[in-house]
Amino acid sequence: MGDIVLNAEKLEKKFDDLSVIDGWNLKVEKGERVVLFGPSGCGKTTFLKIVAGLEEKSSGSLDIDYERIGFVFQEPRLIPWRNVKRNLSVVLEDDEKIVQILKKTRLEGFEFYLPSQLSGGMKQRVNLARALLVDPDLLVLDEPFGSLDLPIKLGIMQDINSLWEAEKFTVLMVTHDVKEALYLGNRVLLLSKRPSRVLKEFRVNLSRKERNLSSPVFATLEAQLIREILEL
């Protein structure tokens, strides 16, 4: 920790006359897992797109220090006529690495399945595998669990935590779910409504064992975060 991967100062984004992001100041250190939490339309996904180079900022500064970024979208966005392996090869044509990432994301045996043959959870695992295939310095998660039921969501979040323990990549995530924020984040940034500002920071001091939805410590922290949100 200590190396700054991302530093935004007085960052603003406007779409014509619509102001979305109003002077964000935030820093993300190497190996951190930072969650953006705020109301719909406050610019969370827009900020992720700016970070990924998919959108231009309007003003302010954004300094970045990472080489490879993996982006996990809200929807899998898989090419329907390409099987799992060929969907991954669009990102990187390396059979050995594809086999490795299929193992890490528990997709072994499904490499020749088409997207139409996969469940929603399996498609989202392919989405995650595609992002991880580039060995990202920064993994961006844009509400990737919204359409999944709890057991499937929990399984994928456990995979991400295990992979993070091994690789220590930096994570920047957007969610509307308090449990997701606490399970995957080390720091939660609470945002105002549009035009949004960063209002407050919430630290998630949980051990690996306590990062469990049924843990009493987890439940206590969840209640604290909900109170913080309601007091904004």
When divided into structural domains, the chain yields a total of 1
Distance CA(232)–CA(226), nearest Å, equals 10
Q: Which domain holds residue 88?
A: 70-136
Query: Where residue 2 falls among pLDDT bands split at 50, 70, 90?
Result: low
Q: What's the confidence (pLDDT) of residue 149?
A: 86
Torsion on CA atoms 139, 209, 145, 151, rounded to nearest 10: 140
What predicted TM-score, i.e. pTM, was given to this entire model? 0.92
Q: Identify whether 197 is part of a domain.
A: no
Q: Measured between alpha carbons, how far is 185 from 181 in angstroms, rounded to an integer?
A: 5
Domain assignment present for residue 74? The answer is yes
The string of pLDDT tens digits covering residues 93-111 is 999 999 999 998 989 999 9
The rounded distance, in Å, linking the Cα atoms of 216 and 210 is: 8
Contact 229, 37 (CB under 8 A): yes
Question: 39 and 111 in contact (C-beta within 8 Å)?
Answer: no
pLDDT in tens, 189-228: 999 999 999 999 999 988 888 888 889 999 999 999 999 9
* Residue 114, pLDDT above cutoff 90: yes
pLDDT category at 117 given cuts 50, 70, 90 is very high
